[in-house]
Chain A
Amino acid sequence: MGNIGVREEHDFDRTMHLAELSLAYLRRLRTPAIPRYFELFYAYAAGLNKKLNAAVDTLLAGDSALSQTEAAKLYETFVAADKPEAKLEAVGISLGAEINAVVELLQSASDSTEAFGESLQQVSAQLGPTTSSDQLRTILHTLLTATKRMAENSHELEQRLAESKRQISELQKCLEQVRVESHTDPLTGIPNRKRFDEGIHEAIEEAKTTGAPLCLLMIDIDHFKKFNDDYGHQTGDGVLKLVARAMKANVKGRDLLARYGGEEFAIILKNTSLQGAAILAEQIRRAVMGKELVRKSTGESLGRITLSIGVATYKLGESAQSLIRRADACLYGAKRLGRNCIKAESELTPTGASGSRAA
């Protein structure tokens, strides 16, 4: 599939660019190019970890060399600590501590409840058929005091448990954040390929069960390589962000928009007919074409961005791979038709010739 080769190449280009930047930094700072420090400066070159970049910039402003101790510390603080395993470990530690606190809390609450019960019974043992009303009043007073005190204890316990509950829901949020991060493309902020792979399987399962129509859009930015070559990778990144934003604005919450590869995107449309999907595809094509790319620093216009889009609908019983392949084939067809257009597959002609072309 022609598209797949192109997709990989662009990933390769950008990654190679960052790799070369990283090695250049390592050379300049006389830091050994071991994998860990390569990763450190690769992340620095990618510029997506703001805290890392701020720290390295500060360090570089002063010296012209970076000791291995400093490099190791930077790695630990900004790269390793940012990794999901470090964050999850931190959650595990906090959760362990919270459990310890609650266990202790419950123990002391249990102890005081027991002590309360005992003292109450001791006092009430004084009660009998011969108890005078004065004696009764005194005993009742004692019982009441003890009960009120226990109620205070118990109330305090409830508050501390509520506090624990709050801490735990913070931890739940942390975990959720880690999960979301692992599913999000750091550059554009939309779901990543991993999420898409999960999503397409979920959507197919659902379509199998409900019988509702399911469509897939495969979207590719026209001449993306040229943008990178002509204007640099930073501009290329800007184009990706712009396109992602424009698409996001046109996609409903229940549809899944994802970055499929280097400059390729995909949209999973549940409960949508082929016709509806084609209409949305055209809408998106126009929305993106309507945006002019302007270089912020100089104000010069860098032209317009156009998309080629392939639209396919799920056939009952087919695999995710098959659906993707067919949508890809339509995308390839759109390119062949001259780009800046959408091509939806048709069931009428087996070779899938029909498509709509923009004027």
Chain B
Amino acid sequence: MSGSMQEEYDYDYARAVGERALAYLKEYALAPNPRCYALLYNHTAGYDQALSRAVLDAVHAHGRLTPADAAKLCDQFLSPNGSLAAAQDGLSGRVDAVSELVDRAQQAFGGLNVSLRDAAQGFVHCSNARAAQEIVDDVVGAGNRVIEETRHLQRKLKQSRHEIDELKRSLTRLRERSDIDPLTRLPGRRLFDMRLGHAIERARRYKVPLSLMIADLDDFARYNRAHGRDIGDRILKAVADLVSKAVGGRGAVARYSGDQFAAILVDTRLEAAIRLAESLRAQVLSKRFVRRSSGRSVGRVTLSIGVALFCPGDTPETLIDRTMDCLRTAKRLGRNRVRWAASTAIAQAD
């Protein structure tokens, strides 16, 4: 594995891109606040064709990147400020609505308390059966009305909860945007760890199968050295796409580190996971990567893949460790292959 297993980002590369981005910002006399820096950083690194095109168009139109244009591009390509305001208003409305519903509940039961107090008084001073029956009828009637009101309130509360879930989801999406890798457009490690935790919880509770796959580009540093960063980046992007397509709807893919991709395969048994990994390996092997300028091939690109099945008692850490062990074994045995573990003991089968 290219020694960058722990650290996700390359210091020197980031520094070069950052300095270039800052130079652009100076040239455009655009205040380098974090949002504008992020915009120009992504543009300089060439991560997003659409973003770069938009930046160049804007510069061409005005001779520089105006603050107004920058704000628009940030909203479009980074995270939108607009939906935040909408979520804020939505939440505010929901909080007010729920507050009102609780008010009504308080009123309803306050009223019931009055009826109960009256009934108690009535029972104390009651002198005949008919009077007693009347008191009973009154208080039971009051109780029934409150039950009716309660049902209505519960319905409204559940409706509010549903609306809040929607708002929460959009807020989560907004928040998660900061952990999306701009090159591959995949979520990063932080998001991945969170999702793995959820997936394991689900597998544990519903007793459904769960597999984890970690794929590592073999000898990736070599491409950067031999052909330069852009080739390396293009390869990463292409492999990321292949991984996403292979996994499809079966689970979540993430860029786990510099040259590693991880996939959580829900409701997937080991056999299916192995087939998926094997198919992915073959696809990457057969893909031809060529330099755009010369049309010459940059050589073979291969993946080593580790696959592990979730076992009862597994935590995210133990599952990841086991998968990484399989991955390391695959590397040791010559790369360009898949290794898996069916249980907490590693299998060496081929």
Contacts and interface: CB of A to CB of B under 8 A. Distances in A.
B165 to A, nearest CB: 7
B164 interface: yes
Interface of B is mostly: helix
A83 B175 contact: yes
A161 B105 contact: yes
A99 B157 contact: yes
Contacts of B10: 32
Contacts, number: 231
B102 A19 contact: no
A23 B22 contact: yes
B143 A114 contact: yes
Given A8-B29, A35-B34, A107 B154 contact: yes
B96 A148 contact: no
A178 B84 CA distance: 11
Given A27-B15, A88-B171, A143-B123, A19 B116 contact: no
A140 to B, nearest CB: 5
A147 B119 contact: yes
Interface in B14-68: 14-15, 17-19, 22, 25-26, 29-34, 37-38, 41-42, 67
B288 interface: no
A92 B168 contact: yes
A127 B32 CA distance: 85
A92 to B, nearest CB: 4
Interface stretch (B129-137, B196-204, B237-245): B129-137
A34 interface: yes
Place the interface of chain A in its size category. 35 or more
B37 A96 contact: no
Contact of B37 (A35, A168, A178): A35
B112 A154 contact: yes
A72 B190 contact: yes
B38 A35 contact: yes
B103 interface: yes
B140 interface: yes
Interface in A218-248: none
Contacts of A100: 161
A171 B94 CA distance: 11
A80 B194 CA distance: 15
A113 B143 contact: yes
A64 B313 CA distance: 39
A151 B144 contact: no
A86 B168 CA distance: 10
B102 A161 contact: yes
A19 B41 CA distance: 13
Contacts of A147: 116, 119-120, 123, 139
B113 interface: yes
Contacts of B171: 85, 88-89, 92
A116 B41 CA distance: 68
Interface stretch (A9-17, A48-56, A202-210, A292-300): A9-17
A259 to B, nearest CB: 15
Interface string B75-91: 00000000010011001
B116 A151 contact: yes
Interface in A88-102: 88-89, 91-93, 95-96, 98-100, 102
Given A16-B32, A143-B123, A175-B92, A89 B109 contact: no
B123 A140 contact: yes
Looking at B17, B37, B101, B113, which has the most chain A CB atoms within 10 Å of its CB?
A: B37
Nearest to A155: B113
A171 B160 CA distance: 15
B144 A95 contact: no
A32 B9 contact: yes
Nearest to A23: B18
Given A67-B7, A83-B175, A128 B168 contact: no
B37 A38 contact: yes
B88 A162 contact: no
Contact of A8 (B19, B67, B120, B174): B67
A159 to B, nearest CB: 10
A198 B27 CA distance: 32
A80 B41 CA distance: 19
B123 A117 contact: no
Given A35-B38, A88-B171, A99-B157, 5 more contacts: A85-B171, A91-B91, A91-B95, A92-B168, A121-B136
8 contacts: A32-B13, A72-B190, A89-B172, A92-B167, A106-B154, A110-B151, A158-B110, A162-B106
